[in-house]
Structure 1
């Protein structure tokens, strides 16, 4: 790979990377793989065919390169009639098939064992949903390290919750700034009653932590999560090692063509005058929520870029999805994008002055990396905890919902107007975001180098 660092005196260790089948997991594994490849590791990245094909297209992967510092390894899942190969990924997977995908993934243990036997890597880096991968590596006397792609604050709180039950966690968790609101707790408890799947996921992650050799890697930075990294380390008895933001700066030509209109729009606006609105790739606001967001944006008088997504098979036109006449009324100051937008490019643009986000961990890290204040509108799962963290460290303002957890247009309009239009609120958050951005870029890289040396040490022990 271009830019690979060659250390002539150091052996070139072989690392097998094994993420869960979701792009939100695969992407950090890919970014870590690139950093390892540049530090004289031979990297093998293992996933299903559909995910590997996506990575080859999106990661500038050159199969004809003379230097195969990163090689892709295909994991075949068993043939199940209800799960054809194009569903061997969480992207576009119908929700009712998620348990089937997890079952098929687990059933592929024998195929993964064969990969371990053939490659004989010096180290396995695995994801939280497959503790069995670590167990298989141990049978081959291969050390394995868990890589957590979620925030430490989330797992720190969940670890605590499992000991004292979710409903009592707020009162006894040692960091009062991090909590769930009453309506959020009700939602979580209702989900747990519906299905034990999420609870099972948590137990898998904790088992994965337990099995990890010496350390656990986490996609984070001590500058924002130091005390939560330490609390989780103390709770689980493993040393957590941060690897920094792993920000991806690359995009391919096809993506560049599709976002030229967005960049033109941003270029035409004043500095810090645009609010970017996105709820990630796996949360789809309801019709009622879309209406509240739309009217809130309209009332805010702010310039905006709003990414609207629909579940596969349920896509509708923007005219139909949004309030009547909305697109015409906001013409010139608002841009609604259907499906995909280059988030990093938008956040890195001088015209972007705020980010209305669901607070998925990747989005929180990116907002800090690019120094953009976060207007937090968490939807479910761990997102409320990430939102509270953003407020605590001084880079976020939460857009409050009503006591039943419903989004309110007036609150959206008020926060956006005061932060992006009047700039009467959010000044401190903006300054703090810029300050943390500089530190994150410097210190995050230092933490990554420390993590890489620990991995090298683990590989050496195995020789």
Structure 2
């Protein structure tokens, strides 16, 4: 991020040379939008996070309270609020303004683009528009798939030997790491629920951790016939698209939530930080998953994990989650072209006015 911010002078030279009709920027470079504006170039903000979390946190910024948020399904626990301010306070953005989230939305010309759709976030898109005084234009879920090398994956070959909806996919993204205690409790939950699983388990570079040391003694041997633990990489989109996957245990990063809905897979939510708890509450609200229960300090047990997994994959309730998420998936896909057309029209109008 520091290197990126240090590139602002080079960016200025590029903009001056090519003189684009429009700049699209994200949360971490308000300096880019400010320079473009000084050159008479309109800028439009594009967010890869959802409207629910932006409306929730913008409400707090405006009214200084989470409790008065108009949609009670979205909330935060005390430990999440404490962690949020600790984590958020460590982010330093060059040329940040004093408005909500560094003032990035105030710099956007007429509209805000957001990776979302009305099928999932209708009322939150409208409330975010109201708070930001900008028209929020959803661009859809922007899911990509590569059907070449992934189809040759040993993981997919293994998955094809399992029963329909019988397998849990577990991944916490590329920037989230579980503690040893959390790893052990998830492992315990997997043994209690007795489901098939594919677990992508990553560790921070230089941490010294490896799969054998992090997992409980004998775990890999006990689950060898029904589970894969992968440390490096797995073809996530192809796994979620596979008919034998019945659930996705996720930290609820926005892209992971969108992929799960797009491919019609219910979610076992284990949020870790920042916007993830809010995304998790949305998952529960729209009926496409469950959240693993925790105690007042934010800790979860293997029993909590096993209970949540069973609700999504083992028990009869799982069919209800699968039915709901498939319904949303179909609606999302039906609306993609319309959303693309709206985005194109809005951006064209801005360029024409210029």
Per the normalisation by structure 2, the TM-score is: 0.94
1:430 aligns with 2:322: yes
1:131 aligns with 2:30: yes
Closer/same/farther in 2, CA of residues 202 and 325 from structure 1, 3 Å limit: farther
* Residue in 2 that maps onto 1:453: 345
* Residue in 2 that maps onto 1:250: 146
Contact 2:267 2:312 in 1 (8 A): no
Number of positions where the alignment pairs a residue of Structure 1 with one of Structure 2: 352
Task: Select which of 296, 300, 310 maps to 2:203.
Answer: 310
User: CA offsets, 1:350-372, max 9 Å, x none?
Assistant: 00001111100000000100001
CA shift, 1:418, in A, is 3.4
* Residue in 2 that maps onto 1:74: none
* Residue in 2 that maps onto 1:223: 119
Deviates more, 1:343-352 or 1:452-461: 452-461
Task: Select which of 245, 248, 257 maps to 1:355.
Answer: 248
Distance in 2 separating the partners of 1:217 and 1:327: 45
CA shift, 1:191, in A, is 4.1
Closer/same/farther in 2, CA of residues 116 and 379 from structure 1, 3 Å limit: same
Task: Select which of 1, 5, 12 maps to 1:113.
Answer: 12
Task: Select which of 122, 129, 140 maps to 1:233.
Answer: 129
CA shift, 1:146, in A, is 0.5
Contact 1:375 1:397 in 2 (8 A): yes
Distance in 1 separating the partners of 2:97 and 2:86: 16
* Residue in 1 that maps onto 2:61: 162
Distance in 1 separating the partners of 2:7 and 2:242: 43
Per the normalisation by structure 1, the TM-score is: 0.73
User: CA offsets, 1:76-124, max 9 Å, x none?
Assistant: xxxxxxxxxxxxxxxxxxxxxxxxx33x433322211111112111111
1:382 aligns with 2:278: no
* Residue in 2 that maps onto 1:322: 215
Task: Select which of 47, 52, 69 maps to 1:153.
Answer: 52
Closer/same/farther in 2, CA of residues 350 and 256 from structure 1, 3 Å limit: closer
User: CA offsets, 1:323-352, max 9 Å, x none?
Assistant: 111000001101111121111111000000
Distance in 1 separating the partners of 2:72 and 2:176: 27
Distance in 1 separating the partners of 2:267 and 2:145: 20
Distance in 1 separating the partners of 2:203 and 2:23: 36
1:207 aligns with 2:103: yes
Distance in 2 separating the partners of 1:266 and 1:453: 42
Contact 1:157 1:173 in 2 (8 A): yes
Aligned pairs for 1:58-73 within 5 A = none
Contact 2:44 2:112 in 1 (8 A): yes
CA shift, 1:454, in A, is 1.1
SS in 2 for 1:210: coil
Distance in 1 separating the partners of 2:46 and 2:216: 43
Higher relative contact order (CA 8 A, sep 6+): 2
CA shift, 1:432, in A, is 0.7
CA shift, 1:251, in A, is 6.0
Aligned pairs for 1:38-57 within 5 A = none
CA shift, 1:249, in A, is 1.3
Q: Name structure 1 gaps, 5 residues minimum.
A: 1-100
SS in 2 for 1:397: strand
Q: Name structure 2 gaps, 5 residues minimum.
A: none
* Residue in 2 that maps onto 1:186: 82
Distance in 2 separating the partners of 1:429 and 1:440: 16
Distance in 2 separating the partners of 1:251 and 1:313: 33
* Residue in 1 that maps onto 2:21: 122
Distance in 1 separating the partners of 2:241 and 2:207: 31
CA shift, 1:435, in A, is 0.3
* Residue in 1 that maps onto 2:332: 440
